[in-house]
């Protein structure tokens, strides 16, 4: 009698032991000079903690490997290229170079990670706050533009990289986050976590769903705080926003943004932000940067060339430019939606 009464309790405990509560797990890391939010659905706390610790280690290793100015593999590669020497690159760096060569061509050179020398000239290779520093002289910028370093100058054989132009200095700041976040969700998937979102400073990739609905995310407002719009991300879909509001220098009342036009050597200013949704996070990240520079006149052509069908631009006057397919995806936040200029399908 006593035994029979005790059985259900033991059974219930065993069940609880086998399948502890599955729920939302959220954690925040600081890597790549930015906050990374990891949200996992349908995991135990223990699984969540182990997965995030794994991602943190990986992000930290990538941060060292791809850093454009702190000592590490990319800084060494850049030093060799500047000396006119061939140098070995890590597998990730080889992949980033190959991917960037394609995206650079497709963007007519607007996205070009060979412009590290120019980014440095503008003072963005620094951990310190920039505000107040004088911009580079016209002569210094003209001298850089005359050397025209580009991704086209690089050749790769195996893991050996060489440049026919010693002015090439690689800076993957416009693509690394998208690439890294995709790697992170792939790691989660391999660990058996199929419903997750990893958000690095406003650029994110989602896998699976949250409970029984798609992941819903916010797109940051380019002017001021808060979100401009909300949208739903499908399985294996990324959204990235680039803008000159993210990082800039202000000198004598003029703002100089960190997205720099390789054609002129000066930061772009017509577009304040570009948002791109794409199945490949690296493509979304690179395209968002390119579209900021493409401007109102060229952005649709550049988007098509880059294989982007879902994008949204905010211009200086606050007008939103997007194709109908993007308009169907975004839900503007607040009571007063911004003016929208609906374009042709991409
Ligand atoms: P965020 O890092 O704010 O998401 P982006 O993805 O647009 O913004 O990356 C901007 C960074 O990319 C700059 O800080 C610089 O390191 C680099 N960069 C700037 N202009 C270009 C460009 N035209 N092509 C490629 N990389 C660029
Ligand atoms: Mg980018």
The pLDDT tens digits of the residues spanning 256-298 come to 889 999 999 999 889 999 999 999 999 999 999 999 999 999 9
Closest CA to 26 of 161, 266, 250, 196: 196
Which ligand is the nearest neighbour of the Cα of 120? 1
Q: Give the CA radius of gyration of the chain.
A: 23
Which pLDDT value is given to residue 21? 61
Over 284-305, what HEC string results? HHHHHHHHHHHHHHHHHHHHHH
Q: Which of 145, 173, 283 to mutate to test the pocket of ligand 1 (most atoms within 8 A of CB)?
A: 173
Q: What is the distance in A from the centroid of ligand 1 to the CA of 337?
A: 28
Which pLDDT value is given to residue 313? 97
Q: Is the dihedral of CA 200, 201, 206, 209 positive or negative?
A: positive
Question: Which residue lies with its CA nearest to atom 15 of ligand 1?
Answer: 173
Q: Which atom of ligand 1 is nearest to the CA of 34?
A: 2
Q: What is the distance in A from the centroid of ligand 1 to the CA of 107?
A: 14
Which pLDDT value is given to residue 20? 57
**Crossing angle of the two packed helices 73-82 and 91-106, in degrees rounded to 10:** 60
pTM above 0.85, yes or no: yes
The beta-carbon contacts of 34-38 under 8 Å, at least 24 apart in sequence, are 34/177, 34/200, 34/201, 35/200, 35/201, 36/198, 36/199, 36/200, 36/201, 37/197, 37/198, 37/199, 38/184, 38/196, 38/197, 38/198, 38/199
Binding pocket residue ranges, ligand 1, CB within 6 Å: 110-113, 115, 119, 124, 171, 173-174, 177, 201, 203, 242, 246-247, 258-260, 262, 285, 289, 293
Which ligand is the nearest neighbour of the Cα of 294? 1
Domains and CATH numbers, the chain: 66-163 (1.10.3980.10)
Q: How far apart are CA 227 and CA 225, in angstroms?
A: 7
Q: What is the distance in A from the centroid of ligand 2 to the CA of 221?
A: 16
Question: Which residue lies with its CA nearest to atom 14 of ligand 1?
Answer: 258
Residue with tokens 């690159």: 89
Task: State the 10-residue block means of pLDDT for the chain, 346 residues long.
Answer: 42 45 88 92 95 97 96 98 97 98 98 98 85 90 98 98 98 97 98 97 94 92 82 98 82 87 94 96 98 97 98 95 98 90 97
How far are the Cα atoms of 51, 179, 209, 251 from residue 24, in angstroms, in the given order? 13, 25, 11, 45
Residue with tokens 């705080």: 225
Q: In 208-305, where do the E strands start and end?
A: 215-220, 227-233, 237-243, 248-251, 254-257, 271-278
Q: How far apart are CA 158 and CA 274, in angstroms?
A: 35
Q: Which atom of ligand 1 is nearest to the CA of 286?
A: 6
Which pLDDT value is given to residue 6? 42
Q: Which atom of ligand 1 is nearest to the CA of 202?
A: 4
């Amino acid at each position: 009698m006593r035994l029979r009464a005790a059985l259900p309790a033991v059974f219930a405990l065993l069940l609880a032991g086998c399948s502890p509560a599955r729920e939302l797990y959220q954690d925040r890391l600081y890597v790549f000079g930015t906050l990374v939010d990891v949200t996992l659905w349908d995991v135990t706390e223990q699984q969540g903690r182990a997965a995030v610790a794994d991602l943190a280690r990986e992000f930290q290793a990538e941060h060292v490997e791809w850093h454009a100015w702190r000592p590490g593999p990319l800084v060494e590669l850049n030093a060799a290229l500047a000396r006119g020497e061939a140098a070995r690159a890590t597998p990730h760096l080889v992949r980033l170079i190959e991917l960037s060569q394609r995206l650079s061509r497709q963007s007519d050179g607007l996205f070009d990670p060979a412009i590290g020398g120019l980014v440095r000239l503008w003072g963005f290779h620094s951990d310190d706050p920039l505000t107040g520093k004088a911009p580079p002289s016209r002569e210094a910028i003209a001298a850089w533009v005359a050397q025209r370093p580009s991704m086209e100058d690089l050749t790769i054989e195996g893991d050996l990289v060489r440049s026919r132009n010693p002015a090439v200095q690689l800076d993957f700041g416009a693509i690394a986050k998208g690439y890294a976040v995709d790697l992170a969700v792939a790691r989660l998937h391999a660990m058996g976590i199929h419903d997750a979102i990893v958000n690095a400073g406003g650029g994110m990739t989602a896998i699976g769903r949250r409970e029984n609905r798609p992941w819903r995310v916010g797109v940051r407002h380019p002017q001021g705080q808060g979100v401009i719009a909300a949208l739903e991300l499908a399985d294996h879909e990324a959204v990235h926003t680039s803008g000159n509001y993210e990082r800039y220098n202000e000198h004598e009342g003029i703002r100089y943004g960190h997205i720099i036009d390789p054609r002129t050597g000066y930061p772009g200013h017509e577009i304040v932000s570009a948002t791109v949704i794409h199945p490949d996070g690296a493509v979304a990240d690179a395209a968002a940067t390119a579209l900021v520079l493409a401007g109102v006149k060229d952005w649709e052509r550049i988007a098509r060339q880059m294989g982007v069908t879902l994008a949204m631009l905010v211009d200086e006057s606050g007008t939103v430019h997007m194709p109908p397919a993007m308009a169907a995806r975004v839900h503007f936040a607040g009571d007063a939606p911004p003016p929208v200029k609906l374009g042709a399908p991409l």
